[in-house]
């Protein structure tokens, strides 16, 4: 079942009156439960595309349907609600509160939700367990390793059980071992929990953990292929 559908999507920025195209007429679909990598070099338009797909920005032209409804048909309030309830975000820089505990960081999205506060701890602990960090529950985020910080960010993205997780260069600030663990965690969430994953990366090794790679070049789709020899994660480490 299709979750995301874009048709001839454009994003053009105005740079002092000079139009600068970042995304140029891309068309594709992503099904629920897919793990898709959007890959390309720096400046190719992949992060801009993620911002549009994640309701963080609007397209300049073309159609974008999320779960069957066009983005142009959402009010600003509806966009914010869908972004909070149905989308989770993981960024390269973690964006954690350094003095807050793991549990406190993961509960943050619940502050902006309609979920009863009595349920917050249970939901956050479930998300933390799903990324293998239950043993770090009360640790301050500043005292965690880079890989652990990124897994906290994943748990925070998962706490409201979103339909899709957008991961923008999630291994970019990590060493190779920590980066591998992050990719194994994403694969685990996709295969065992059924989350749709959209990964933004410039690394072939990272992209090959996905089921499919959409390669972006100069704002256009250069190729869109299934991964023939998908990298299999080792046993998920808790």
CATH number of the CATH domain containing 60? 3.40.50.300
Mean pLDDT of the chain: 92
Is the residue at 186 inside a domain? yes
Mean pLDDT on 149-166:
93
Distance CA 17, CA 131 (A): 46
Residue 12 pLDDT class (50, 70, 90 cuts): very high
Task: Give the residue from 173, 154, 152 showing the smallest Cα distance to 165.
Answer: 154
Residue 136 pLDDT class (50, 70, 90 cuts): very high
Is the residue at 195 inside a domain? yes
Is the residue at 236 inside a domain? no
| Residues 203-236 pLDDT 10s | 888 999 999 999 999 999 999 999 987 777 654 4
| Residue 186 · residue 199 · CB < 8 Å | yes
How many domains does one find in the chain?
1
Residue 238 pLDDT class (50, 70, 90 cuts): very low
Q: Is the pLDDT of residue 3 over 60?
A: yes
pTM for this model (two decimals): 0.90
Mean pLDDT on 46-56:
94
Is the residue at 235 inside a domain? no
Is the residue at 231 inside a domain? no
Q: Is the pLDDT of residue 237 over 80?
A: no
Is the residue at 98 inside a domain? yes
Is the residue at 202 inside a domain? yes
| Residue 162 · residue 66 · CB < 8 Å | no
Is the residue at 233 inside a domain? no
Positions of E strands within 100-184: 164-168
Domain of 58, in residue numbers: 2-226
Q: HSE (CB half, 13 Å, CA atoms) of 195?
A: 29
Mean pLDDT on 165-169:
94
Structure confidence at residue 176 (pLDDT): 86
């Amino acid at each position: 079942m299709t979750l995301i559908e874009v048709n001839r999507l454009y994003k053009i920025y105005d740079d002092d009156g000079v139009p600068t195209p970042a995304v140029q007429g891309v068309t594709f679909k992503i099904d629920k439960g897919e793990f898709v990598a959007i890959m390309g070099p720096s400046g190719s338009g992949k992060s801009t595309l993620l911002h549009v797909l994640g309701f963080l920005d609007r397209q300049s032209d073309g159609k974008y349907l999320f779960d069957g409804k066009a983005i142009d048909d959402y009010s600003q309030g509806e966009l914010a609600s869908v972004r909070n309830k149905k989308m989770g975000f993981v960024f390269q820089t973690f964006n954690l509160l350094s003095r807050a505990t793991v549990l406190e960081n993961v509960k943050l999205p619940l502050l902006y939700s309609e979920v009863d506060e009595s349920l917050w701890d249970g939901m956050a602990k479930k998300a933390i367990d799903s990324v293998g960090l239950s043993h770090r529950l009360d640790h301050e985020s500043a005292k965690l390793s880079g890989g652990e910080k990124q897994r906290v960010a994943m748990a925070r993205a998962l706490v409201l059980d979103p339909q899709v997780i957008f991961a923008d260069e999630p291994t970019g600030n990590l060493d190779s071992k920590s980066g591998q663990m992050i990719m194994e965690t994403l694969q685990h969430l996709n295969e065992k929990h059924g989350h749709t994953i959209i990964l933004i990366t410039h690394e072939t090794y990272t992209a090959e953990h996905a089921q499919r790679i959409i390669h972006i070049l100069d704002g256009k789709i250069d190729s869109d292929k299934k991964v023939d020899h998908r990298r299999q994660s080792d046993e998920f480490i808790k």
